[in-house]
Amino acid sequence: MRCASDSITIRVSSSANERVGSQQAVLGQQMSAYYPTISMSNSLSHQPEQHQRGNDHAADAFTSQAIANMTLYNFGKREGNVQAARETLDATKKRTTRRPTKISCYDQQAYYVY
């Protein structure tokens, strides 16, 4: 059987894990600026048969293109965004590790007061 402090601790730790997970996603998005962006396009064209001047077969044409773009230097903006995301993630982790202890203490105080 679980007491009230256990259920509060479980709920707070699960929401804390969600906050840490979302901050890790933000850090991943900011880190993606270090990698190139690749865009690809393909096209296929088909020309039907033509019966002029002895040309009796269809013609197919396939073209493919790949383009890689990468920002080499943007005057520290990328690095600043990544560092800010790292610091926010660290602060979120530290905040979430302290919170269950505080709630447990408050819960015990409330229990003994009544």
pLDDT, tens digit (0-9, with 9 covering 90-100), for 27-70:
999 999 999 999 999 999 887 766 666 555 667 889 999 999 99
Structural domain that includes position 108: 4-113
- The overall pTM is greater than 0.85: no
Average pLDDT value for residue range 86-105: 76
Backbone angles phi, psi at 66, to 5 degrees: -125, 130
What confidence tens digit (pLDDT) does each residue in 8-22 have?
A: 566 666 777 888 889
Identify the three-state secondary structure at position 4. helix
Bridge partners, residue 66, by sequence: 40
Bridge partners, residue 37, by sequence: 69
Which residue type does 107 have? D
Q: Structural domain tally of the chain?
A: 1
CA distances (Å), origin 25, targets 29, 66, 88, 104, 106: 6, 28, 12, 29, 32
- Residue 102 is predicted with a pLDDT of 59
Q: Identify the residue whose tokens are 């865009």.
A: 39
11 sits in which H/E element: helix 4-31
